[in-house]
Amino acid sequence: MTPDTIRLTVNGKVHDIAVAPATPLLYVLRNDLELNGPKFGCGLGECGACTVMLDGIAARSCVLPVGACTQRHIVTLEGLGTREHPDPLQAAFVEHQAAQCGYCLNGMIMTAKALLLRNAHPTETEILEALRYNLCRCGTHVEILAAVKSAAGHSRASEAADAAG
């Protein structure tokens, strides 16, 4: 793996990084750019903890060679918003207290964000299917679903009805 200079656009900023092109994007984001949002979970694309968006599409950065990411807009959790100016989806996660350990949260938010970008008002079934392959071990699914539904414009009343099931 011989290093090349790879030009990446991450959260709107351009970076030139000397790295072997086969290096998974995740390690470049975490180690070269010191971004903590994307997390290593499995290295096999199974769990979704490493999810980022590439040109608005959810991508599993643990299996994505950095060399394939030039010429694209990479957005990480940090690029969505800040504590002071959160993205509405981030705000919904806070409002619904949608975290226990929070390790999977990056993947949940980034996957849901990509869903909302292509479908601003998904149904509950569409949300469940979009998040099917994002694993959470703490069992925070109920709160995460509530958060995404509220960001997708589902009313509180319909959420209450669902909860009563």
Partner 1 sequence: MPPADATRPENGGSRATGSLSIIRSLKADQPAAGFETFIVIAADGFVTAFNGHVDLGTGIRTALTQIVAEELDVPLSHVTMVLGDTEHVPDQGPTIASETIQITAVPLRHAAAQARQYLLERAAAELDQSLDELTIDDGLIRAKNNRSVSYAELVAGKTVCLELRDDVPVKDVSTYKIVGQAVPRLEIPAMTTGEMTYVHDVRVPGMLHGRVVRPPYAGVDAGDFVGTSLLAIDESSVADIPGLVAIVRIADFVGVVAEREENAIRAAQQLRITWKRTPTLPDLTDIATALRANPSTPRVLLDKNDVDAAIAAAAKPMQRTYVWPYQIHGSIGPSCSVADYSDGGLRVWTGSQNPHVLRGDLARLLALPEHAIDVIRFEAAGCYGRNGADDVSADAALLSRAVGRPVRVQLTREQEHAWDPKGTAQLMEVNGGLDENGHAVAYDFATRYPSNAAPTLALLLTGTIPPVATVMQMGDRTAIPPYDYDAMRVVTHDMPPIVRASWFRGVSALPNSFAHESYIDELATEAGVDPVEYRLRYLKDQRAADLVRSVADRARWTPRPVWQPPQADGDVVRGRGFAYAVYVHGPFPGKAAAWSAWVADVAVNKATGDVAVTHVTVGQDSGLVINPDGVRHQIHGNVIQSTSRALMEEVTFEPSAVASREWGGYPIITFPDVPKIDVLIVPRQDQPPLGVGESASVPSAAAIANAIFDATGVRFRELPFTPDRIREGLRAAETKTAPAPARRRGLFAGLAALCTAVAGLIVAASPWRPAIAPIARPDASIYTAATIARGQQLAALGDCAVCHTADGGIVNAGGRPLETPFGTIFATNITPDVETGIGAWSYPAFERAMRQGIHRDGRHLYPAFPYNHFAKTTDADLQALYAYLMAQAPVRQNNRDNALAFPFNIRPLMAGWNTLFHTPATYTPDPAKSDIWNRGAYLVEGLGHCGACHTPRNALGAEKASAQLAGGNAEGWDAPPLTSLSQSPIPWSENEFFSYLRTGISTYHGVAAGPMGPVVKELGALPDSDIRAMAVYLASFNPDAPSAAAQQAMAVKLETITSVRPIAASAQGARIYDGACAVCHEVGGPELFGSRPSLALNSNVHAATPGNLIQVILNGITAPVSGDLGTMPGFAGSLNDRQVSELASYLRQRFAPDKPAWIGIEDAVRATRQATAR
Which residue(s) pair with 57 in the sheet? 54
**Of positions 12, 14, 44, 121, contacts partner 1 by CB under 8 A:** 44
Distance CA(105)–CA(19), nearest Å, equals 28
62, with CB counted inside 10 A (0-12, 13-18, 19+), is buried
Q: Which of 114, 116, 151, 152 forms a contact with partner 1 (CB under 8 A)?
A: 114
Q: How far is the CB of 58 from partner 1 (least distance, A)?
A: 5
Q: Does 59 contact partner 1 by CB under 8 A?
A: yes
Residue entry with tokens 């392959």:
133
Compute CA distances 165 → 21, 110, 148, 159, whole Å: 49, 27, 18, 9
- Residue with the two structure tokens 């414009």: 153
- Residue 163 touching partner 1 (CB under 8 A): yes
- Please report how close the Cβ of residue 16 comes to partner 1 at its closest, in angstroms: 16
Identity at 3, one-letter amino acid code = P
Q: Are 70 and 6 a contacting pair, CB within 8 Å?
A: yes
Q: Is 58 in the site for partner 1 (CB under 8 A)?
A: yes
Site for partner 1 in 139-158 (CB under 8 A): 139-143, 145
Please work out the total of residues on this chain that contact partner 1, with binding judged by CB under 8 A: 86
Cβ of residue 15: shortest distance to partner 1, in angstroms? 16
Out of 98, 116, 151, 152, which residue is the one contacting partner 1 (CB under 8 A)?
98
Using CB under 8 A, which residues numbered 9 to 38 contact partner 1?
Answer: 19-20, 22-24, 27, 30-31, 34-37
Residue numbers 68-87 binding partner 1 by CB under 8 A: 68-69, 76-78, 80-83, 86
Environment class of 38 (CB within 10 Å of its CB; exposed 0-12, middle 13-18, buried 19+) = buried
